[in-house]
Amino acid sequence: MTWVFELHKTQSIAHAICVLAFVCVVGMALGSLKFRGIGLGTAGVLFAGILTGQFGETIDQRTLDFVKDFGLILFVFTLGLQLGPGFFAALRQLLIGIFGRAVWKMNFMDLSGMLASSMTNPPALAFATNIGCSDAPNVAYATVYPLTTLLRILSAQVLAIVLFR
């Protein structure tokens, strides 16, 4: 068992992967704890990483570069796993928006505000506003948002009635 504590001297990359796995496990355990219904969730991994970093040793540049790249790969992979199922829904909304623009001769800025509202996505609205230097996306967002919110609530109610009664 002593080889585990000597791993950082002989195999720095293997040691880094072990530390990453340790941080993930401890962080997920920390995130799953709840106090009066409130928990850290995925932020537990962040706090576990910060805490582990306080006890860590300095590492060489080669290992640091590997860990950065490996962490980015893991992040993109898990993001893809999480967002993958919603990809086709977002693509459908985009195609509907393009169709609406072609049929109703909509302004691109209005279309971008409407799409941001339909997805309830304020960052997309901020991007559309900044890229066009116009308030048109804000007006479209504000116009469509109440309708999209109402439709989401109604569809949730209909699903609840159909599935649970």
Q: What is the pLDDT of residues 82-111, one digit of tens each?
A: 666 776 776 777 677 777 777 777 777 777
pLDDT for res 76: 73
pLDDT for res 4: 63
- With residue 105 as reference, give the H or E element that holds it: none
Confidence of residue 3 (pLDDT cuts 50, 70, 90): low
Examine the domain organization and report whether 70 and 8 are in the same domain: yes
- Which range marks the domain in which residue 159 is found? 106-164
DSSP assigned state of 94 = H
Examine the domain organization and report whether 78 and 111 are in the same domain: no
- Number of structural domains (the chain) is 2
Distances (CA, A) of 22 to 6, 17, 64, 142: 16, 9, 17, 46
List the one residue out of 111, 164, 158, 103 whose CA is nearest residue 134. 111
3-state secondary structure of 58: coil
pLDDT for res 56: 66
pLDDT for res 101: 72
Average confidence (pLDDT) over 49-56: 79
pLDDT for res 26: 87
Average confidence (pLDDT) over 37-56: 79
Residue 104, Cα to own-chain centre: how many angstroms? 33
- Residue pLDDT, tens place only, 53-88: 787 666 777 777 887 788 778 777 776 776 667 767
Q: Are 52 and 30 in contact (CB under 8 A)?
A: no
> With pLDDT > 70 as the criterion, what percentage of the chain qualifies?
81
pLDDT for res 99: 78
In angstroms, the CA 39 to CA 69 distance is: 29
Examine the domain organization and report whether 80 and 152 are in the same domain: no
User: Given 85, 120, 141, which residue is the final one in a domain?
Assistant: 85
Examine the domain organization and report whether 8 and 80 are in the same domain: yes
pLDDT for res 27: 85
Examine the domain organization and report whether 41 and 111 are in the same domain: no
pLDDT for res 5: 63
- Residue pLDDT, tens place only, 112-140: 777 777 776 777 777 777 776 677 777 87
Token pair, residue 106, equals 């909509």
